[in-house]
Chain A
Amino acid sequence: MERIPRWWWVALVGAAALVAGAFVARDVVAPNADGDAAPLLAVSLPDIEGRPQRLDQWRGKVLVVNFWATWCVPCRDEMRDFIRTQKSTGDKGLQFVGIAVDNADKVQQFAKEIDLNYPALIGGMEAMQLSRSLGNELMALPFTIIVSRDGKIAHTQLGPLKQAQLDSIVAKLL
């Protein structure tokens, strides 16, 4: 039986390592479902009135943290669904919190126009960096994280969150 040359084994092991590495890399950049939301809940940001608000004040609720901006039309559109859902399901323990990457004036004006019924916190570049650390590599908006009652990340979403999907996720967590 012929001896298989050593370089063949080296090439095979190298190729296997490349494949394995790629699969690991996929997990690292994929969303952190079931990850600990503690870093997110520890964040404190000012509300429209300038008062600092810590996210962990809502620990124990099903928390929908939505990064948005007035200059983001798809963000504004989905907020109408969020307002409706906050109204219908808030008493069951659901809490929306918006983090606006925007000027407080514009946020205040828009919040008034749409009768916003959940907190709007004001964030700048730091808020964008926070969203990136949660998986939003391109720092695009809207970006939404859903946190379970026991402080785990249940869902991460880049782009609009459709009502049907929101309902289905929230129903499992409430």
Chain B
Amino acid sequence: MAAPPTSTGFARKRSRANVGAAAIALAVSLIAPAVHGAGTGLPGLEPKLLPPEQAFRFSARALDPQTLEARFDVADGYYLYRDKMRFAVEAGGPTLGHAALPAGLRKHDEFFGDVETYRGALVVKLPITGGASGQSLVLRADSQGCADVGVCYPPTAQQVRVALPAAGTGPGPVVDAAPQKKGWFR
């Protein structure tokens, strides 16, 4: 039998609703870390290892119709190899010129000799020829990196679609290769 709509009746219903909501919130908050962290929980590596697209976040924007700006944001505790970095524009698009890669941190590898690595933010300007304002192109970046905890990833390809802006209108927006992960309660 339904409770009569007295002020006391409503107050009691609302407090039960609050308890119910609190119980659900508690259960979800307990499992959220488990579900979120699942997938990299193999023994030998704490804290959890990031997938390469998050360890080496790739994004790009067009500065003007003749120049792209590619960016890697390398997470703390990870690094990329300079000599494994490649950029390419998808066939049928404008031509990509020479990518001037900045110098990296140099270290000596006993098998490969001197190698250079990148940590933190890496920004590379890429010249484009034959592109027109408004034209969209797909920029692909191949990279290979490792984590300080002692693992290396295979070469990873990431790509973004970028539209060339009109001349004189300034840079276009930044396009991320991997979407930002949203938390449960954003």
The answer to whether A160 touches B150, judged by C-beta atoms less than 8 angstroms apart, is yes
Partner of A26, one of B13, B34, B51, B149: B34
Question: Cβ of B35: which chain A residues have Cβ within 8 Å of it?
Answer: 22, 25
Number of interface residues of B (CB under 8 A): 37
Q: Are A75 and B152 also in contact (CB < 8 A) when A5-B16, A157-B43, A157-B44 are?
A: yes
Distance of B159 from chain A, by nearest CB (Å):
19
Question: Cβ of B40: which chain A residues have Cβ within 8 Å of it?
Answer: 137-138
Question: Cβ of A7: which chain B residues have Cβ within 8 Å of it?
Answer: 20
The answer to whether A74 touches B38, judged by C-beta atoms less than 8 angstroms apart, is no
Partner of A159, one of B39, B81, B144, B151: B151
Cβ-based interface call for A135 (8 A): yes
Instruction: Flag the segment in B25-33, B94-102, B167-175 that touches A.
Output: B25-33
Question: Complex formed: what's the CA distance from A12 to B43 in Å?
Answer: 33
Cβ-based interface call for A140 (8 A): yes
Question: Complex formed: what's the CA distance from A58 to B43 in Å?
Answer: 25
Question: Cβ of B28: which chain A residues have Cβ within 8 Å of it?
Answer: 15, 18
Cβ-based interface call for B24 (8 A): yes
- The 8 A CB mask of B33-51 against A (1 = contact, 0 = none) is 0110011111111000101
Question: Complex formed: what's the CA distance from A2 to B16 in Å?
Answer: 11
Question: Complex formed: what's the CA distance from A19 to B16 in Å?
Answer: 22
Distance of B59 from chain A, by nearest CB (Å):
21
Pick 10 A–B contacts, CB within 8 A, sort by A.
Answer: A11-B23, A12-B23, A22-B31, A25-B38, A31-B43, A71-B81, A73-B152, A74-B151, A137-B40, A159-B149
